[in-house]
Structure 1
Amino acid sequence: MSKPRFDVIAIGNALVDVFTSCTDEDISRLGLNRGGMTLLDEARADELYNAMGPTTEKSGGSAANTLAGLAMLGLDCAFIGQVNDDQLGKIFTHDIRSIGIAFETEKLADGPETGRCLIFVTPDGERTMNTFLGAGQVLPAAALDEGMIADAAILYLEGYLWDPEEPRRAMRRAIEVARSAGRKVAFTASESFVIDRHGDDFRRMMDEGLIDILFVNEHELATLTGKSDFEESVAHVSAKVPVLVATRSERGAIAVANGERAEVAAEPIEKVVDTTGAGDQFAAGFLSGHARGAPLEECLKRGAIAAAEVISHYGPRPEADVSAMIAEKLG
């Protein structure tokens, strides 16, 4: 097998995140799902945007956030996702290319606007996400660069994008291409509601051996297995995927890889400012080690360090030198 050009290629929603601070009363008044992620139509997105206070805009999208972390950790990455040829689409394209990620998906000339995620952050740092997928939900299989997919060691897929039918077909095709090229497939479940809707698909993929690395949090794991006991759920899923990574917020994370198990505590942090992107950056830290053959516990520690950095500030992407932080903590 030839050496791949990319360490990781990801397919996901191309979004611009719009942040605002709010109170718990605002969450109730606006009828938001506190701490969760809700999909919006364009009318509801406009309504919530008009209700936001002062905002900060940053390029986002779960898989794109993970790639941003990986690129900052020195890995060669590529992204496939759909934007419109509008202002937000230009912002997203500039931002992802500026950090060295290959992004060649052709922009839409018309159709839905570029997607956005309206994020309300309460004083405890909890984020409530409200997402208008926009152009992202019309990503067709024809937009895939199959050569790039075959030339990446790991294909990383975002569960959020499994919900719309057209991108789901595109990701199924991407899995076929990666498998044919002898590459690994990593999958992040993204949110329990995605599993509620498509859990049968995910369980079938695990049974068929199509997922090599699965990222979940403990709530998603319980939804996936239908089991309330964490350890029972871990045992059930780890028997079906070569690498299982399960995060547990302040209780750290575990990973099971081909029968080997490792656990780490959460990294201490002075203040949680915004939990947006914590799971995305944990995946980035973990994959930065896994892609280079690091021991399982080190991969988890990398993930915990990256997650701690991102929750110390607004926004889903690193602002500090995470490579230096990892080098200092791991010696």
Structure 2
Amino acid sequence: MSHYDLYAIGNALVDSEYEVSDALLQKMGISKRHMTLIDTPRRAELLAHVTHLQPRQTGGGSAGNTVVALAQLGGKAFYSCKVAHDNLGDFYVKDLQAQGVDTNLTHTRASEGQTGSCMVLVTPDAERSMCTFLGVSAELDDAALHAQDIVKSKIYYMEGYLAASPTGLSAALKGRQIAREAGVALALTLSDVSMIQFCKAGLDAMLGDGVDYLFCNQEEAQVWCGTEDLETIRSTLKKLAKIICLTRGPEGSEVLTADQSWHVPAEKVKAIDTNGAGDMFAGAFLYAVTRGYAPNQAATLGNHAAAAVASQHGNRLTLGQLSAIKAYALPPLK
């Protein structure tokens, strides 16, 4: 019997979210809608531009958001990541524990360095642009893996951002091998266009001979496939995974398999902040499929949960919000 519904590996980051104008974003020299890795000097330079703004601070990281969503919905999750012995590290560990997510951080933390953080800059059109300082997360390695828990999980989930870190990629691949040999399903998110453009070899390695679940948004799919033609994109993605979740913002989502495809309409909301929406979709989708729901039903839950995130500021929903969404979006299992 599986002990965990989801075992994930990714970058542990504390998000600081700022509401900014397009003019300020341009002045800061930031690529809109995408994630950019930054070093300590660049981080100090960017922070100097927003000293007049008060950020919202939350636990973050793509896979971190996904495991928290699944746990809040009632699933059981384990998260492998790396933080330092500093205030942000303490904040991150307490946040995971409060959400009911098990983690290697109760056993292993970096003795030196800084916990990773992400400046999330949200413009009035609800787009989020991210500047990520990895800190000790850049040194994530296979010491963070709990093989005994991977083999007791239903799904092993890899964050595509790890393609930018040699040690993080190596750890993700070692976990992938452990999962595959134990018959655990594999899942991958492409994470961001920048990963496809600059770290595609790492993503290819995580895909390997194929995964069970692949998550990407339309822009990522277009860049991966080198085309905007949806039929070509669909046929290309079907070769990579057994089940593909293609999120398309206001157009909803598509779930593709070799034999079937579903278009699941989006919940109509006014988008305020898209940070974390894709992560939320993945967490809700994986919660539903591990409970026995069909892929299109899982995508319906994912759409509703992602829409709720996009219609507010912040990358997380409350337990109460998700409980209400689950009751509304999922029919009782027969």
For the aligned pair, the TM-score class normalised by the smaller chain equals over 0.9
- Deviation of 1:205 (Å): 5.2
Quick check: 2:173–2:206 contact (8 Å CA) kept in 1? no
Structure 2 letter corresponding to 1:251: E
1:182 equivalent in alignment to 2:177: no
The secondary structure found in structure 2 opposite 1:57 is: strand
Give the Cα–Cα distance (whole angstroms) in 2 for the partners of residues 23 and 233 of structure 1. 33
- For residues 123 and 292 of structure 1, the distance between their equivalents in structure 2, rounded to whole angstroms, comes to 37
**Residue 76 of structure 2: aligned partner:** 76
Which residue of the partner structure matches residue 47 of structure 1? Answer: 45
Kept after mapping to 2: 8 A contact 1:277/1:316: yes
For the aligned residue pairs, the C-alpha RMSD in angstroms reads 1.5
2:20 matched residue in structure 1: 22
Specify the alignment match of 1:255 in structure 2: 255
Query: Is 2:163–2:200's contact at 8 Å kept on the other side of the alignment?
Result: no
Is residue 158–residue 190 contact of structure 1 (8 Å, CA) maintained in 2?
yes
Deviation (angstroms), 1:126: 1.5
Aligned to 2:291: 292
Distance 2:203 2:23 in 1: 37
Q: Which moved more, 1:160-169 or 1:192-201?
A: 192-201
**How is 1:134-283 mapped onto 2 (pairs within 5 angstroms)?**
134-203=135-204, 206=207, 208-209=209-210, 211-269=211-269, 271-283=270-282
Q: State how far apart, in whole Å, the 2-side matches of 1:151 and 1:233 are.
A: 34
- Aligned partner of 1:107 in structure 2 is 109
Give the SS at the match of 1:169. helix
Which residue in the other structure is 2:304 paired with?
305
Deviation, 1:207, is 5.8
What do residues 60-119 of structure 1 show as CA deviations (whole Å, max 9, x unaligned)?
000000111100110000100000010000000000111110012311111x31000001
- Does the 8 Å contact 1:284/1:306 carry over to 2? no
- Tell me which moved more, 34-43 or 92-101: 34-43
Q: What whole-Å deviation, never above 9, does each CA across 1:192-246 have from its counterpart, x for those lacking one? A: 111122324434654623x111001111112222233122111122133111110
Comparing 136-145 with 89-98, which one deviates more in the overlay?
A: 136-145
| Equivalent position of 2:321 in the other structure | 321
Q: Distance in 2 between matches of 1:74 and 1:330?
A: 13
Distance in 1 separating the partners of 2:199 and 2:324: 39
Q: Is the 8 A contact 1:124 1:273 kept in 2?
A: yes
Gaps of 5+ in 2: none
**SS class of match (2:199):** helix
C-alpha separation in 1, matches of 2:174 and 2:195: 20
Q: Which runs of 4+ in 1 moved over 6 A?
A: none
Partner letter of residue 286 of structure 2?
Answer: L
TM-score (norm 2): 0.94
Unpaired runs of at least 5, structure 1:
none
Structure 2 residue aligned with 1:60: 60
Offset, 1:135: 1.0
Q: TM-score, normalised by structure 1?
A: 0.95
Q: Distance in 2 between matches of 1:100 and 1:204?
A: 31
Query: C-alpha separation between the residues in 2 aligned to 1:184 and 1:207?
Result: 13
Q: Tell me which amino acid in the other structure corresponds to 1:15.
A: L
Q: How many residues align?
A: 326
The one-letter amino acid paired with 2:257 is: A
- Output the CA distance in 2 between the equivalents of 1:259 and 1:46: 51
- Using the aligned pairs only, state the percent identity: 33
